[in-house]
Amino acid sequence: MSNSALSPLPSADRPDVAARLRDALLGASFTADGLLELLGAPAYAALARSEVVPALRATRGDTPLETLVRLFLLQQPVPHARVADVLPVDACLEAGWLTGIGGDEVAAAVDIRPYGGPDGEDWFIVSDLGCAVGGAGGIGSRDEGVVLGVGGASTTLAGITVRTPVAAALDLGTGSGIQALHAARHATRVTATDLNPRALHTTALTLALSGAPAADLREGSLFEPVAADETYDLIVSNPPFVISPGARLTYRDGGMGGDDLCRTLVQQAGDRLTEGGYAQFLANWQHVEGEDWQDRLRSWVPRGCDAWIVQREVQDVTQYAELWLRDAGDHRSDPVEYQARYDAWLDEFEARKVKSVGFGWITLRKTGAVEPSVTVEEWPHSIEQPLGEAVRAHFDRVDYLRATDDAALLAGHFKLAAEVVQEQVGLPGAEDPEHVVLRQHRGMRRATKVDTVGAGFAGVCDGTLSAGRILDAIAQLVGEDPVLLRDRTPAQIRLLVEQGFLDPVE
């Protein structure tokens, strides 16, 4: 499966060697926790930025763990005899995990990076040498079939994914296999696809070395490898979403015009989901002159699906072009060539009337509802990962609100969500605040303005009294007509439920 322009990959047909290598790595504490303890936080953080000097300084000793760090993370040749004390070196050489150098030294054939699973699992992510961290830093510009390791986008998608037990999951554009590895924890069957055969080979290595079940690996673009009648309970994809002139780098460039790849992926996902199933993607989208970006994204949502789309960041076209030119290492190339590539990006955006590019998450859920719910919002503020449970709860609240009219809402009982605080904003010494803000300290960490009735209502919601009873008591307290208060407050209650400040009590 390997790409001839790149170094050969280890054999994916030797699970016995992968198991022995895994045992040896764990025996030497070559884990996320072990690395943190050995290197210290600053050097460990630097390693995540592909800066190796602090880690080189921290591994001057001769312990088994220091040997493995130099070998697999820092790509340093190590004496054969030293490695033989730590790993089954001959089996690793035979299976291609290691290569011999000059007779008495060995080097890693791939980058192996420890990765801590959500429940403390010790996993290992395999990638091409020097590509353990997202962003090839120039390697991808030479070899387009390069397979990257875990970057910020990968961990973001893993964190927002809904983790309920499912029968079948699909990781579309698997790369080094991190999403397939996560899915294997809660899916009976995992299918992983990629246009790059080298990525499928790497995913097989990641799963084997992490002690996870093998996935059904299929080569092809988007949903091409999936039969027309195949459906899944969960679809995840960190696709090659970069909007670029051409498809120079397989790992990041979609090869379709503008944001067509992301749009096509989202639109085609609806037919591949089982009832109640989720599809979750990272994506880029164009902000086109004279067009509302939210309307653009609403048009992507397939029929029969609820959607929650969150824009996390926006960059103008110059920032965007510079970001991805640097990602490929083009800023270190010939200045004339760099300027020509930069110019080509701006030409492309100008031709499409694109003024900026948005980045964020798209979650679909297959629904039988007559009127699906589509929420498109901008939320650039900090959040609390993992967010998968908050995503699932969002759609539960959508179901509740869709099925509950105002009369049922007022008869319902609610509880204030955990770790919500009230802030009063106003001038110092003022008798009454200018406004009251409710703020979450969990999940999306939202903040919303409420009036005194809304604040008072939320403050006494402990599940014991119905919403109507609480409003009647507030009306008596503030001297307002209870009928009028019942009439005007449901919209505010709905907003507080929708945004997760109030939880319905069954």
Cα dist. 456→306, 414, 503 in Å?
Answer: 32, 13, 16
Angle between helices 452-459 and 490-498 (to 10 degrees): 60
Residues β-bridged to residue 220? none
* pLDDT at 7 (0 to 100): 86
Phi/psi region, residue 467 (left: phi>0; alpha: psi -120 to 50; beta: rest), is alpha
CA dist 97 and 331 (Å) reads 33
Structure confidence by residue, pLDDT tens digits, 369-410: 999 999 999 999 999 999 999 999 999 999 999 999 999 999
Q: What are phi and psi of 224, to 5 degrees?
A: -55, -40
Q: Do 171 and 199 form a contact (C-beta atoms < 8 A)?
A: no
Residues β-bridged to residue 194? 219
Q: Burial of 267 by CB count in 10 Å (0-12 exposed, 13-18 middle, 19+ buried)? A: middle
CA dist 105 and 120 (Å) reads 34
Contacts of 223 by beta carbon, 8 Å cutoff, 6+ apart: 172, 268, 269, 272
Contacts of 403 by beta carbon, 8 Å cutoff, 6+ apart: none
Helical ranges in 69-137 per DSSP H: 80-84, 89-95
Residues β-bridged to residue 429? none
Q: Do 218 and 226 form a contact (C-beta atoms < 8 A)?
A: yes
CA dist 359 and 304 (Å) reads 24
Q: How many CB atoms lie within 10 A of CB 103?
A: 6
Q: Do 100 and 92 form a contact (C-beta atoms < 8 A)?
A: no
Structure confidence by residue, pLDDT tens digits, 330-361: 788 889 999 999 999 999 999 999 999 999 99
CA dist 156 and 146 (Å) reads 21
- Which segments of the chain have a pLDDT < 50? 1-4, 135-142
* Token representation of residue 269: 């996902």
CA distance from start to end of the chain = 53
Nearest alpha-carbon partner for 383 in 326, 442, 461, 437: 442
Q: What global pTM score does this model have?
A: 0.94
* pLDDT at 139 (0 to 100): 41
* Token representation of residue 261: 């790849």
CA dist 493 and 490 (Å) reads 5
* pLDDT at 256 (0 to 100): 77
* pLDDT at 151 (0 to 100): 87
CA dist 22 and 73 (Å) reads 15
Residues in the chain: 506
Strand arrangement of the beta sheet that strand 447-450 belongs to: 420-425, 435-440, 447-450
Residues β-bridged to residue 437? 423, 449
Phi/psi region, residue 263 (left: phi>0; alpha: psi -120 to 50; beta: rest), is alpha
Residue 389 CA, distance from chain mean position: 14
Residue 475 CA, distance from chain mean position: 46
* pLDDT at 21 (0 to 100): 98
Nearest alpha-carbon partner for 489 in 439, 455, 446, 447: 455
Contacts of 233 by beta carbon, 8 Å cutoff, 6+ apart: 166, 167, 168, 169, 187, 273, 274, 276, 277, 278
Q: What are phi and psi of 49, to 5 degrees?
A: -100, 10
Helical ranges in 97-214 per DSSP H: 139-142, 152-160, 178-183, 197-209
Phi/psi region, residue 291 (left: phi>0; alpha: psi -120 to 50; beta: rest), is beta
Nearest alpha-carbon partner for 205 in 183, 240, 173, 178: 178
CA dist 426 and 195 (Å) reads 57
If you search the block for the tokens 């943190």, which residue do you land on? 36
Coil, strand or helix: which one is 329? coil
